[in-house]
């Protein structure tokens, strides 16, 4: 009888899925593998988990870099600290989506448009993360360099980068059938160029 109970407990334990803390943290986020690929990983995350695609960071990065000026002068990407929002828009549209850059965003605007890619400075360098929403006084982020994380709202507001002309920026990807919610200042292609992490 003891043997039967032990066998039953072992079988039950084997059937229960187990995920490490690292696997749990990285679930639902495409993790970046290169220092300047947060834009590629953030875009892959949005496409995969909001639109049902299955792109790797590498595939999106290859599409982002597939421009004559980047192929001829790859140092441009390093000089700009990665890809711009215009680069993300071009790839989104190449894949049949609407990439929309927005300026003048408040935290409430981010809440309404979540998930939305935003540029932040968390550790002394520009970086793209996905704002997923708020839980009380904490924001929920999908960070390509870390995974899912929460952060106090005040710290996030300090880390959120501000363009001197456009204010707080965000980038959202919609299918062509999706209608955008509340009106916000949409960026022109020239404004996209200055909007980089």
38 is catalytic: yes
Pairing of strands 126-135, 138-143: antiparallel
Render each residue's pLDDT in the chain as its tens digit; 197 residues: 554 544 445 555 566 677 776 666 567 788 999 878 899 999 999 999 999 999 999 999 999 888 888 888 888 878 777 788 999 999 999 999 999 999 999 999 999 999 999 999 988 889 999 999 999 999 999 999 989 999 999 999 999 999 999 999 999 999 866 554 444 555 555 544 444 44
Query: Which strand (E) or helix (H) includes residue 3?
Result: helix 2-15
Q: What integer pLDDT is reported at residue 185 of this predicted model?
A: 52
Q: What integer pLDDT is reported at residue 176 of this predicted model?
A: 67
Pairing of strands 170-175, 167-168: unpaired
Q: Is 14 exposed, middle or buried (0-12, 13-18, 19+ CB in 10 A)?
A: exposed
Q: What integer pLDDT is reported at residue 181 of this predicted model?
A: 46
**Catalytic pick from 38, 61, 166, 187?**
38
Q: How far apart are CA 53 and CA 192, in angstroms?
A: 25
Going by the DSSP 8-state scheme, the letter that residue 183 receives in this structure is -
Cα torsion angle, 146, 88, 127, 130, sign: negative
Going by the DSSP 8-state scheme, the letter that residue 29 receives in this structure is S
Q: What integer pLDDT is reported at residue 27 of this predicted model?
A: 72
Q: How far apart are CA 172 and CA 118, in angstroms?
A: 9
Q: Would the pTM count as exceeding 0.85? A: no
């Amino acid at each position: 009888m003891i043997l039967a109970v032990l066998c039953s407990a072992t079988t039950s334990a084997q059937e229960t899925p187990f995920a490490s803390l690292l696997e749990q943290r990285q679930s639902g986020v495409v993790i970046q593998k290169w220092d300047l690929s947060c834009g590629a990983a953030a875009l892959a995350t949005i496409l995969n988990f909001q639109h049902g695609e299955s792109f790797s960071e590498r595939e999106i990065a290859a599409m982002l870099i597939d421009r004559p000026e980047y192929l001829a002068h790859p140092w441009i990407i390093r000089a700009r600290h990665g890809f711009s929002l215009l680069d993300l828009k071009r790839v989104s549209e190449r894949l049949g989506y609407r990439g929309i850059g927005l300026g003048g965003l408040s935290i409430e605007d981010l809440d309404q448009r979540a998930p939305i890619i935003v540029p932040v400075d968390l550790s002394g360098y520009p970086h793209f993360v996905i704002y997923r929403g708020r839980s009380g006084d904490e924001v929920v982020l999908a960070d390509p360099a870390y995974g899912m994380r929460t952060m106090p709202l005040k710290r996030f507001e300090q880390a959120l980068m501000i363009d001197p002309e456009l204010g707080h920026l965000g980038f959202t990807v919609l299918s062509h059938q999706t209608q955008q919610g509340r009106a916000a200042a949409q960026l022109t292609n020239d404004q996209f160029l200055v909007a980089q992490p």
